[in-house]
Amino acid sequence: MRFLKFLDEHAEEIVLVILMACMSVIIGVQVFMRYVMKSSLSWSEEIARYMFIWLIYIGISYGVRKDRHINVDAVRRILPKKVNAVVSIIADLIFLVFSIVVVMAGMKVTTKIFASGQRTPALQIPMGYI
């Protein structure tokens, strides 16, 4: 039970750290290969790009979970606590609507990519899986 609680509280952090570390190592190896060995890796930039994209998506989730997402708090600091709570709920609802719109648009794009059979240039992974 402790392990599940730990996973619930820290899974996003663990994934973010792993993605950032792997991405940094891959980019470091690419720099080494390009400037020291005078030969570049064909797959490194592509995989680092996809890791960065997933880092952003999971980071957004983590930021929302910790209530650290981007907002303008100058107005919220001068409002009374009751009004501030209402403004916070409205901001969260707007963010929820935005997230739903992004997911719906993403589903349309993903469906088109699956239908076309498009693959990544270097790794030849189907684009819909990334």
User: Digits of tens for pLDDT over the chain (130 positions)?
Assistant: 898 999 888 999 999 999 999 999 999 999 999 999 999 898 999 999 999 999 998 998 898 888 777 766 777 788 888 888 898 888 889 989 998 999 999 999 888 888 898 888 888 888 877 6
Nearest to 27 by CA among 7, 12, 6, 41: 41
Q: Do 23 and 51 contact (CB within 8 A), yes or no?
A: yes
The CA–CA distances, whole Å, from 1 to 5, 7, 8, 34, 63 equal 6, 10, 11, 48, 25
